[in-house]
Chain A
Amino acid sequence: MTGLPISYGIGLAALLFLMGFAGLVIRRNTLFILMCLEIMMNAAGLAFIVAGAQWQAADGNVMFILIITVAAAEAAIGLGLLLQLQKRFRTIDIDAASEMHG
């Protein structure tokens, strides 16, 4: 039977998302944390594209464009915060910014 079951595409998206999640939790370098956030957003976009391909609707692509917009905004703000962290604490270790001792 030709074609691809939707669970393969969603499974790939889930794998990528969880890889990004694992990286987010195990890393202390803020730059890597931002990269893992990008991986997770990308995986969410893949899930939308897969669903759009399953039902052959343009809605999945529209949501992907929205996700790209959110990712661009998040990357700009996150990298700005990263530069401030480097400027104030002279390190990009996220644990250095625990002045509230939470």
Chain B
Amino acid sequence: MEFTFFLAGIIALATTLRVITCANPVHALLYLIMSMLALAVDFYALGAAFAATLEVVVYAGAIMVLFLFVVMMLNLNNETVAREKSWMRPQLWTGPSIAAGLLLLAMIWALVTGSPASGRIVGTELSANEVGMALFGPYVVVVELSAFLLLAALAVAAHIGREDRDLAAEGAEHGERVTNHPGDH
């Protein structure tokens, strides 16, 4: 279990590093999918088999395919890769990277000096049955809030993603109405 955890963790870190340094969006996306698959292996090593399945199916499957569709719609070419490279000059990324490194040092310091939790993770498997019992038992309000959230996201995505000609048509209709009934205002 420890070996699997460390191996998958190293793969996840390496592929994530490639995601944030890669200039080509499609390559970065493929590295991101690799990173998520490695994290799914980590979840499995920690005993959360149901979460590992969800990570592969929902994250690497659904959300990343959504990203891939958008990349296809954006019509990216070699010119955009060159522009992306020109945006990644060292003077632009050294400062933020040092800031993130300092935050990491603070977090590691907190982990090292803080009182450790007693016991170690042995990777006892947690079945989907237990997760489901918790989800629809004490956490049922969270499930309903997720339903709200998804409905709101659907409405917002439909509103943001609509075509401009709808806007133009609405504007024309509104203008017509104003000219037809000038006394309304």
Q: Which residues of A contact B (CB under 8 A)?
A: 1-12, 14-16, 18-23, 25-29, 31-32, 34-36, 38-39, 42, 45-46, 49-50, 52-54, 56-62, 64-66, 68-77, 79-84, 86-87, 92-93
Contact = CB atoms under 8 A, between A and B. Distances in A.
B103 A80 contact: no
Contacts, number: 222
A22 B150 CA distance: 29
The SS class assigned to the A binding surface is helix
A89 B107 CA distance: 39
B7 to A, nearest CB: 12
A39 B154 CA distance: 22
Contacts of A31: 25, 67, 70-71, 74
Interface in B54-97: 54-55, 58-59, 62-63, 66-67, 70-71, 73-74, 84, 87-88, 92-93, 96-97
A53 to B, nearest CB: 4
